Amino acid sequence: MLGTRALPAYLISRFACGNSKWPTTKASGKTITLIRIVDLARLVRLVPLKRLGLDRLRELFDSCITPEEVSTWVDKMAAEQVPKAHYRSIMDAIWELQKERPDEAVEYSGLAVALQKGPKKLNISKADLYQTCLAISGLAPEMISARKNSVELSQRPDRVMALIGSVIREYPEEETTGFQL
């Protein structure tokens, strides 16, 4: 019988060498990643802040098995520099487009064109707009709805920015390194 301290090491060794009953090899396409709750909480906070999409999260589950590997991966994400996302310009463009057509959601293709023709002449792809709007909705979920093809604001951009600023001030300082509003 294994003691409670020996059990995690035993499980990790079973997962790592593929001898368990559960398929954990890359050949099967299924893996098991052991993650501590503190690292999961950090990861949940980092997803909108660092604009981590599903592709980046898949990297975590493909490359990490042990809690130590996960902790190192989360630390790497926390330290990563993120290019400035033009949150305010994007939300201003959404707000203006919503005023023009109040009964319709703003589609990302229309938003991309509006940003290109706007005062800052931003050239942002639809995919990047979608990821950025998802990040904004993660920081201010009550104020912006980001769906696969469209986005809507329920509050003025200045109010959304104020909420995002207050949310970010609540984050631990080490998690906000490299983030620019």
Over residues 74-126, the pLDDT tens digits come to 999 988 888 888 999 999 999 999 999 988 999 999 999 999 998 899 999 99
Q: Name which of 30-34, 38-42, 121-125, 161-165 the model is least confident about.
A: 30-34
Q: Quick one: DSSP state of residue 152?
A: E
Q: Where are the domains of the chain?
A: 6-79, 87-175
In this prediction, residue 35 carries a pLDDT of 93
Q: How confident is the model at residue 2 (pLDDT cuts 50, 70, 90)?
A: very low
CA 57 – CA 135 distance, rounded (Å): 14
State whether CATH 3.30.160 applies to domain 87-175.
Answer: no
Whether the CB-CB separation of 56 and 47 falls below 8 Å is answered with no
Residue pair 80/50 in contact by the 8 Å Cβ criterion: yes
Indicate the pTM of the whole model. Answer: 0.75
Q: What are phi and psi of 48, to 5 degrees?
A: -75, -35
CB 123 within 8 Å of CB 148: no
Could you report the per-residue pLDDT of 158-172, keeping only the tens digit for each?
Answer: 999 999 999 988 888
